[in-house]
Amino acid sequence: MPNHMGETKPPKTIIKIRNETFTRKENNVLHPLFITNCSLLPRRVPDSMFSDLYEMLAELDRAFKKYNVTYVLMGGSLLGSYLFHDIVPWDDDIDLNTDQRDYERQMLAFQELVETGRYGIHSRTDGRNIYKEFQCGIQRRNFSAWREIWNNGDTSLFLQAKFYKCSSPLARKPFQWRLPFIDVQLFVNNGTHVWERKVLKEYISVNDFYPIHNRPISRGWYPSIRNPLSFFKARYGVKKFQCEYYYYNHMEEKLTKDRKIVRCSDIANSCYPAVKRSRHSEGAIETLIYRNVSLHSVFIPEILEKDHIEPLSYN
């Protein structure tokens, strides 16, 4: 992955916590996949689809690294890593942001994945559909067709890509993509701030965005912005995260009236494994806890702010 603004690659050091020893370098060995289901807020993604999401994320990560595409966890997926070391249990997709400067290389990565015959890509809203040649089932593809649209320099293009497996079930009509999917959106960097393309209200300082480091999602490690709290403040406000169903259900592709809200403390105490963090001189130690049992502890190079979110301890 390119070293835009200095990606962190921490040296291999040993950190001792509570009489246990952890390796800082990559913290590769996480607790085995630990998914429970909770009657308070049941998961929306069926068990059979969870492995597909993780597989697709690993494949995108591999391809993006191969083609030097800078990307980060964003949206609910960044929040999920911060709170659960996983996607938010009741979320139904994964959100990634890629650097707009790497868009042409991103399309080469997409092309390689689509050429396997296992994956497809759809555009969410653009009527001209820059990803038309990247869908499943096309016999003769023109992988260069997107360049004409891109080279026109039309800044109105949304460019959000939905990445999915061709073997997965179709979404409801009239949508043509498949479920589950990973949303890939671009971010823009003007030298002082970074924001998600087409979402201009959530400005993040480059000092909070870079250097990029890795965070856990399930059993893997994926790129994250330097200070996730800066994004949470921009999108959710300080300490306004609620344990509730999102207003849109991707599994059914429709708005939902099921706005069930539960106490986050109840979620943390009895339902899903949740993160507890403590300060370290070079960052933070994050421990995943389930019903008072420590599943794993990892070092994360993020400085805890005074008002940092202590996961699920409020609301």
- What's the average model confidence in pLDDT over 96-112? 95
Prediction pTM value:
0.84
Query: CA 96, CA 81: separation in Å to the nearest integer?
Result: 12
For position 251, what pLDDT does the model report?
54
Query: CA 182, CA 165: separation in Å to the nearest integer?
Result: 10
Q: Give the closest residue to 68 by CA, choosing from 223, 225, 183, 265.
A: 223
- Beta carbons of 197 and 185 less than 8 angstroms apart: yes
Most confident of 155-159, 197-201, 214-218: 214-218
DSSP 171: P
Q: What is the pLDDT of residues 140-192, one digit of tens each?
A: 888 888 887 777 655 567 788 999 999 998 876 767 778 899 999 999 999 99
Helix axes 75-84, 228-236, angle to 10 degrees: 120
Residue ranges of alpha helices (H) inside the chain are: 47-66, 75-84, 103-115, 145-151, 206-209, 228-236, 264-266
Q: What is the pLDDT of residues 292-310, one digit of tens each?
A: 888 889 999 987 776 565 6
